[in-house]
Structure 1
Amino acid sequence: MGCIVPSLSFHLPLPDGVTDAESLSFDRSGRGPYAGVSNGHVLKWDNSHLGWTTFAHSTNYRKIPLCTASMLPLEQTESMCGRPLGLQFYAMTDDLYIADTYMGLMKVGPSGGEAQVLATQVDSAPFHFVNRLDVDQTTGDVYFTDSSATYPRRFSTEIMMNADATGWQLKYDAQTKQVTVLKADLPYPNGVAVSSDRTHVVVAHTVPCHAFRYGLKGPKAGQYELLADLPGYPDNVRRDARGGYWVALNQEKAWLDTTAPPAKHLVGVCLGVDGTAVEELTVAKDVTLSDVAEKDGRLWLGSVELEYVGLV
């Protein structure tokens, strides 16, 4: 079966002074969405009151006064206050795991509050650009990416321009509390999704616009193989309801024939289990996406540039 086809849309405006709902998640009761945003917080949408509340934050929120300011430029606060880029709940405990690009891999309990830092390095090498994650809902193990061992997030353009290939695909073992490198020397690894049968992890590479899969068990355990050549620069990857994946595209590949621009603006693609593109998601020009999260037959849309969370 293919992915669902969007038919209508509206959006949930973020609080004043807050943008960039880059990653979205829902708790085990279906509440949410929860969104990691520009001021370093994780927000929760309260449907009963039709508003956003702060759900989680780093320890520096209470320690550093600048982290409570609302209108400072991001470059002045991100490295101090954190920037949550990846979110996923572990349904068994309802803990929320957070990939914070500066703080590292973090976790917060069902009641929210100050997030606990779980890991900031692997084999004595510090993380530079923790990006996305997913949780194995059976074991509680967390699979996540560090997009570069050289550049932090604010130099993401340099990662692409210099063809940096120092990224990691990582695993946090829920039992041993240890982080291991599954695959090193990767070009801009970004989104992560554990397959529905838990046999592999899908990893999106922003450059060169590919999705790979890393085998976790069976005859292909430890193998890293191409799953799909994507029509744009991917950000997050999410499982759909049928065993495939929604891949958010931050930008389409460069259009070579400038006299005939594309008739539609592609922001997402749905892949089948075998990596075949099943459906495309298009929206108005000047809109880019970082996350497409399917929930109860609807698509929730996150973006690094917009002041709202979309819904189709």
Structure 2
Amino acid sequence: MAASFCYPFVAFLSVFCISVTKGQYSNFNKLELPQGVGGPESAAFRGVLVFSEGPFTTVTDGRILKWQGPNVGFVDFAYTSPQRTKQFCDGTTDREKGPICGRPLALSFDPVTGRLYIADAFFGLLVVGLQGGLATQLVGGFKLLNGLDVDLLTGNIYFSDASLVYDIRNVTQPGFRPDSTGRLLCYNPHNKQVTTLLSGLFGGGGPAVSNDGTFVLVAELNRKRILKYWLVGSKANTTEVLLDLDGNPNKIKRAERFGEFWVAVSAGFLPPASSIVPKGVRINSKGVVLQTVLFEAHYFNKSITLVQEQDGKLYVGCRNTTFLGVYSN
């Protein structure tokens, strides 16, 4: 990959403040996937509030599905592999089919163009247009891309590569040990170049860019912490530990309140414990924990990968379910 620079810039925005009820999200609903399909690790919405479409979600057999309401359910929207066939791939849970079927793990929409960016465990960074279909590969050659986010101001894509050594098929093999070769990267869609911002991450994942484009957060799943990488200002290109957690953080997503984020955390996931506590943790840009929502009543002993807030609801992703969970007040 060629190295270049992602140039952030500062712009003046009119901020629309959204009022969100700070309850404990006691109401629960399932958005069921099609029969035989599982693994909704990520979710994303196109547009805002009543004008939004989705959720869109990623599933184990290589597809990206779109929710069309309770009367229709999820339908096919996009896929990442040019070799994929529905006969061979639909409904599969066999990770060995990943190089043929694909395995998208993270989604993020460009709010300006409406295009959907995709991080796929086998096919790297891709993008697909408004009508879906086969996504276009932007950059390949990675081992395990597992998270991404679009900068609202510049359109730059920040994404995480979990390892230079192992891929998603190795994770469930006996004797697997995670390493510290993860990276935080940036793709500039204007010059089509990739820059490595951080390396040596212990299970890097879940990048989220601040609303004002001044910093990006990245999770170190196996070190149980969140790092803050500054993009502009006197601290530009420096990193600090924002927050240490009691569990393994996965994807990080911007919350609906300006300057806040939701983190998917699974306490007891790594190292394995007899009981896993999945939860969503809402934090601010200073690393202060503002709210914790427990999901164990519905996810039991499963680790979660995503907490995505949309219109006051929390959409929860998990690789071990056949539904996308929705919590509301």
SS in 2 for 1:214: strand
Q: Distance in 2 between matches of 1:199 and 1:247?
A: 19
Q: Which residue of structure 1 aligns with residue 80 of structure 2?
A: 58
Inter-CA distance 266–129: structure 2 relative to 1 (3 Å threshold): closer
Q: Distance in 1 between matches of 2:84 and 2:278?
A: 40
1:270-298 C-alpha deviation (Å, 9 max, x unpaired): 11221111111112122432110001111
Out of 214, 229, 239, the residue aligned to residue 229 of structure 2 is 214
Q: Distance in 2 between matches of 1:64 and 1:89?
A: 23
1:123-146 C-alpha deviation (Å, 9 max, x unpaired): xxx311111000012211100001
Q: Which residue of structure 1 aligns with residue 12 of structure 2?
A: none
Deviation of 1:211 (Å): 0.4
Q: Which residue of structure 2 aligns with residue 233 of structure 1?
A: 248
Q: Distance in 2 between matches of 1:310 and 1:237?
A: 17
Matches within 5 A, 1:267-278: 267-278=279-290
Question: Does the Cα contact within 8 Å between 1:3 and 1:279 map onto a contact in 2?
Answer: no
Inter-CA distance 71–59: structure 2 relative to 1 (3 Å threshold): closer
Matches within 5 A, 1:85-100: 85-100=105-120
Q: Which residue of structure 2 aligns with residue 46 of structure 1?
A: 68
Q: Which residue of structure 2 aligns with residue 31 of structure 1?
A: 53
The yes-or-no answer on 1:7 pairing with 2:22 is no
Deviation of 1:154 (Å): 1.9
Matches within 5 A, 1:124-139: 126-139=141-154
SS in 2 for 1:154: coil
Out of 323, 326, 329, the residue aligned to residue 308 of structure 1 is 323
Inter-CA distance 70–255: structure 2 relative to 1 (3 Å threshold): closer
Structure 2: which 5+ residue stretches go unaligned? 1-18
Q: Distance in 1 between matches of 2:113 and 2:209?
A: 18
SS in 2 for 1:77: helix
Question: Does the Cα contact within 8 Å between 2:278 and 2:302 map onto a contact in 1?
Answer: no
Deviation of 1:59 (Å): 3.7
The yes-or-no answer on 1:74 pairing with 2:90 is no
Q: Distance in 2 between matches of 1:178 and 1:9?
A: 42
Q: Which residue of structure 2 aligns with residue 123 of structure 1?
A: none
CA RMSD of aligned residues (A): 2.6
Deviation of 1:113 (Å): 0.7
SS in 2 for 1:50: coil
Q: Which residue of structure 1 aligns with residue 294 of structure 2?
A: 282
The TM-score normalised by the length of structure 2 is: 0.85
SS in 1 for 2:171: helix
The yes-or-no answer on 1:198 pairing with 2:213 is yes
Question: Does the Cα contact within 8 Å between 2:119 and 2:145 map onto a contact in 1?
Answer: yes
Question: Does the Cα contact within 8 Å between 1:88 and 1:98 map onto a contact in 2?
Answer: yes
- Which letter maps to 1:95? R
- Which letter maps to 1:105? L
SS in 2 for 1:156: coil
Inter-CA distance 205–157: structure 2 relative to 1 (3 Å threshold): farther
Inter-CA distance 216–307: structure 2 relative to 1 (3 Å threshold): same
- Which letter maps to 2:101? C
Q: Distance in 1 between matches of 2:281 and 2:54?
A: 23
Q: Distance in 2 between matches of 1:117 and 1:3?
A: 39
Question: Does the Cα contact within 8 Å between 1:17 and 1:71 map onto a contact in 2?
Answer: yes
SS in 2 for 1:32: strand
Question: Does the Cα contact within 8 Å between 1:99 and 1:133 map onto a contact in 2?
Answer: yes
The yes-or-no answer on 1:247 pairing with 2:259 is no
* Percent identical residues: 34
Structure 1: which 5+ residue stretches go unaligned? 121-125
Q: Distance in 1 between matches of 2:120 and 2:45?
A: 18
The TM-score normalised by the length of structure 1 is: 0.89
Number of residue pairs aligned between Structure 1 and Structure 2? 301
Q: Distance in 1 between matches of 2:57 and 2:273?
A: 37
